[in-house]
Amino acid sequence: MATRPSKTDAPAPTDYRRGTRARHERLLALVRAGSTGVDELATALQISRSTVRRDLAHLNTTGDITRTYGGASSAPPFRERELSDRVTVEHAAKVAIAARAVELVPPGATIFLDAGSTCGEVARQLWHTEGLTVVTRSLDSALYLASAPGVDVVVTGGRVARTSHGLVGPLADLALGRYMVDVAFLGVDAVDPVDGVGEPTLSEAQVKDTAARRARRVVVLADASKLARGAVPAWAPLPHGWTLITNEVDDDILDRYRSEGVAVISVKVGAEPR
């Protein structure tokens, strides 16, 4: 007589996630190689058409592909927007995210402040803080905080990235390597619970990696649009237990981060954070 499998014989939830992730990667590779039809993909992967459609819908949500009638195509190449353009995009969300972020700054702290529009909003909300040291790679934030009476500003040095006005390269890494900061606030072009933060160039990703390794706490600031991978090419890993502050409120999306040990802070635009 056959025995029923025990609960201990069942695959762990992480096994399911690992298997699904591997299938998504194979599916994405096929789409990028030119296989775009549902029937073609189902045959190649030996899975049902309904599973293919569900996986394509997920990859479309994450920005890895673009859904088409009857199949999918590769996402277009990533193009970083100018900082002057990004400042006005999702402005209310960035203000709410920044307001929650400054609450995480301990008294008398030394923090790292990244480049980008959301971190720029953090700088504006820190102007009246007393006894704060801000190490930053952002020329805009450094200039803004230079006149703040209670803030000591340290600029990393390095080559200026044209679109972000952020400093990158060996000089930036060298300066960051001399500090241990209480909190590193990172802006992103994309963020993933497994791969970390996505940037347009390896030099941008490298400086974020260095900042994260020199921080007691890492806080990523990302409006809801950044929670899709898109076609961002360069990625920097993050230490276990990093924090995400976002205006995304969909638990189906946020649970992907929570399941990987990320501390999620979801803020509602125009309301108190939760």
Find the domain containing 141 and state its range. 83-266
Same-domain status, 140 and 172: yes
Same-domain status, 67 and 122: no
Question: Strands 183-187 and 218-221: what pairing?
Answer: parallel
Report the number of distinct structural domains present in the chain.
Answer: 2
**1 in a domain, yes or no?**
no
Cα torsion through 138, 124, 219, 28, rounded to 10: -70
Same-domain status, 166 and 226: yes
Sequential pLDDT tens for the chain (274 residues): 445 544 444 445 444 466 787 888 887 777 777 767 888 888 888 899 888 888 887 777 666 776 666 666 665 554 555 544 555 567 899 999 999 999 999 999 999 999 999 999 999 999 999 999 999 999 999 999 999 999 999 999 999 998 889 999 999 999 999 999 999 999 999 999 999 999 989 999 999 999 999 999 999 999 998 987 777 889 999 999 999 999 999 998 999 999 999 999 999 887 544 4
Residue position matching structure tokens 């500090």: 179
Same-domain status, 123 and 36: no
Retrieve residue 200's tokens.
Answer: 């347009």
Q: Strands, E, within 42-171: which ranges?
A: 65-68, 71-74, 110-113, 132-136, 151-155, 159-160, 167-168
Same-domain status, 155 and 66: no
Instruction: For residue 176, give the 3-state DSSP assignment.
Output: helix
Same-domain status, 253 and 163: yes
Instruction: For residue 26, give the 3-state DSSP assignment.
Output: helix
